[in-house]
Structure 1
């Protein structure tokens, strides 16, 4: 049987567990090519909390005019993918954190350490949830990482301005509000947020808008996120990014994550033009056909299963 060169290359990447290239149809796509689009989503880390395949922890970049402007989450391994994608710390407008599970923020210290070598001088917004009795606020998380008493206290100038490092503008977002809140309005980029339900974890979803295009990052949430559904209803995002963490089997943690049926219902309510599934866990990937069938009960638009460094241009 004859095998094409490109098919052989794709098979080799799968065998080796490498993600230095993503694929689109039969074409091998270089990860840095995402920057060539006027507006694009690039999934840096498409995995979950278990290191059972090649995937980095949850992380996404919004590319605007060739620059990595918005980073949503920074899971373990995303630091490597950030470099592979050709992103630059000095180009970031904002880092948005959906919640403080380790698979979403475990790569942030490495990224900040790398940023200390950059030539950035502008303030950098880092926005995320406020705290609770069991979870820190965004400002407390950053203090634990790079504060004067933090684990990486040599990076404390990020917060106190005592040396030649860019300052971080850290914002705690109230998670008791189930309606859209403005986060950023500058340089042609609008960012809004809305609280979501992820058991007891303070958690957020984000909307990024640019030149009439809209990207909706649902974050980790359960079917109990009714405020999110109402706040995003008929918003018609060009891309809606949702997690694929649980199967359709009985006994799944549906108070923590949406299953396929609930994902489809949320995508239909939002009027999503395309649904991108990421944050994959093996239990969901093993049940892919059932998950897709459940999504299709409500949502009929295109669905993409993301890999690390997958690129989704917004036309």
Structure 2
């Protein structure tokens, strides 16, 4: 009898879990007409509460743009209730594992969707040890030679898979590059400095709202300040404390640099994300340094957080 009760309880818990997994972004807190949801607020380390980088732009209850998809963020994508059929674009800031490694998992899941239209995907040119977007996708999905060659149909639209429309963007560009324009929004990218890694930042303009994703950058790029100017929401990677060594500072902006960027760009709401253990340990110090310079709204991201935006003037 006790065994039977345990099985019934387990079945009930599974049913309740299935309802949660199918919930919409609105049910998870993304109720504003324009919202950004954090899928992963962590970096390359395995962290209990933080998946690696990933973000969704929600418009009127639909997940339209996915920015990065690092390790663990695929599970958060599932928890968000986002639908593969609704995506207009996947935008990769760079090809580090903590920003791009869950892409095959997402595309495999897309096989089970009803999507028929092509899916645009954007990413940087290559350099040094890093392939460009096309090389990355070929390494993953090329027939016979790709790590996941059984998904080769994503490269040409065969085998019942939708075709990936590849958009390789110049990582050395210091001028904004138009990535995608629809009736509802416009997306642009610009090259940023992340040590030797070809990298991009993205800006999404929805009506009079401006949302900027820094990706990983080291704070040395004055053109990024112009790119992020007057942003209503700036999602800024915060991977290192102020006392970071020279190697880390070559890759990532220090808290003092984040503060100066947000102030100079006149950002309305700054969200710190991509936290590593080292930046979490020094978070109080970092927040104090940023508050001393930047007077706008400041938040620290957690996985599945939603940041809603209202049209200006309200």
Fold-level match, TM-score > 0.5?
yes
Q: In structure 2, how many angstroms separate the alpha carbons of the residues matched to 1:256 and 1:46?
A: 18
Closer/same/farther in 2, CA of residues 118 and 292 from structure 1, 3 Å limit? same
**Secondary structure of 1:206's match?**
strand
Tell me, which stretches of 5 or more residues in structure 1 are unaligned? 1-19, 22-29
TM-score (norm 2): 0.87
Decide which structure has the larger Cα Rg and report it: 2
Q: Is the CA contact 2:157–2:164 (under 8 Å) kept in the aligned structure 1?
A: no
Question: Distance in 1 between the 2:231 and 2:287 partners?
Answer: 20
The structure 1 segments of at least 4 consecutive aligned residues displaced by more than 6 Å after TM superposition are none
Q: Deviations over 1:89-130 (max 9, x none)?
A: 110000000001100011111111111111111111100101
Deviation digits for residues 55-85 of structure 1 (CA, Å, limit 9, x no counterpart): 1110000000110000000001111101100
1:118 aligns with 2:113: yes
- Checking the alignment, whether the CA contact within 8 Å between 1:178 and 1:231 is kept in structure 2 is no
* Structure 1 residue 289: Cα displacement: 1.6
Cα separation, partners in 2 of 1:117 and 1:250, compared to 1, 3 Å = closer
Is residue 246 of structure 2 the alignment partner of residue 249 of structure 1? Answer: no
Pair 1:262-2:257 in alignment: yes
Q: How many corresponding residue pairs? A: 286
Is the counterpart of residue 58 in structure 1 residue 53 in structure 2?
yes
Q: 1:161 to 1:245 in 2, by over 3 A?
A: same
1:95 is paired with a residue of what secondary structure? strand
1:237 and 2:197 aligned: no
2-side partners of 1:32 and 1:288: how far apart? 30
Q: State how 1:50-199 maps to structure 2 within 5 Å.
A: 50-148=45-143, 149-199=145-195
Unaligned 5+ runs, structure 2: 1-19
8 A contact 1:237–1:270 mirrored in 2: yes
Name the stretch that deviates more: 163-172 or 40-49: 163-172
Q: Distance in 1 between matches of 2:61 and 2:147?
A: 34
Look up the SS of the partner of 1:73 in the other structure: strand
- The alignment yields a C-alpha RMSD, in angstroms, of 1.6
What is the CA-CA distance between 1:153 and the residue it aligns to?
A: 0.9
- Using structure 1 for the length normalisation, give the TM-score: 0.87
* Cα distance in 2 between the residues matched to 1:250 and 1:207: 28
Partner of 2:181: helix, strand, or coil? strand
Q: Deviations over 1:192-235 (max 9, x none)?
A: 01100000000000001112111000110002222212333xx3
| Residue aligned with 1:192, SS | strand
| CA shift in 2, pair 1:168/1:84, >3 Å | same
CA contact (8 A) 2:30 2:307 kept: no
Residues in 2 aligned to 1:143 and 1:192: alpha-carbon distance in whole angstroms: 24
Q: Which residue pairs with 2:10 in the alignment?
A: none
